[in-house]
C-alpha cells in the first residue's frame, strides 16, 4: 500500500515541516492513529480515494515540525503497532 513521506527544508535549528500520507486498511486506523497522536504528531486528514472497494482502504495524513529523523522514527514506531502491515 502507498506510503509517502516528505520533508521540507531544515531551519537553523534542524527542524522541518514533515508530512506523510499513508494508506491503511480501515480496521487498522484506530490503532495507528492512536500511536500517531500519542507521539505528538498531528493527523490532518483521514479519507478514502476510491468508493466501493473491498477491503476499504483509507488514507491518513500526518504532519509535524521537528527534525526529519525524529519524524521518521515515530512513523516507523506507529507501523510496528500494526499486525498486518508488511514493514521490516
Q: What is the pLDDT of residues 38-79, one digit of tens each?
A: 999 999 999 999 889 899 999 999 999 999 999 999 999 999
Residues 2-47 have pLDDT tens digits of 789 999 999 999 999 999 999 999 999 999 999 999 999 999 999 9
The grid coordinates listed for 66 are: 521537528
Q: In CATH, which of 3.30.365, 1.10.10, 3.30.70, 2.60.40 is domain 3-79? A: 3.30.70
Report the predicted TM-score, pTM, of the whole model to 2 decimal places.
0.87
Q: Is 5 left (phi over 0), alpha (psi -120 to 50) or beta?
A: beta
Spell out the domain ranges in the chain: 3-79
Amino acid at each position: 500500500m502507498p506510503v509517502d513521506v516528505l520533508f521540507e527544508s531544515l531551519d537553523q535549528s534542524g527542524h522541518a515541516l514533515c508530512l506523510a500520507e499513508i494508506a491503511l486498511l480501515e480496521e487498522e486506523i484506530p490503532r495507528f492513529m492512536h500511536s500517531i497522536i500519542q507521539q505528538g504528531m498531528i493527523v490532518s486528514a483521514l479519507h478514502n480515494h476510491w468508493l466501493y472497494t473491498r477491503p476499504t482502504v483509507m488514507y491518513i495524513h500526518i504532519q509535524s515540525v521537528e527534525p526529519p529523523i525524529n519524524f521518521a522514527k515515530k512513523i516507523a514506531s506507529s507501523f510496528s503497532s500494526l499486525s498486518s502491515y508488511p514493514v521490516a
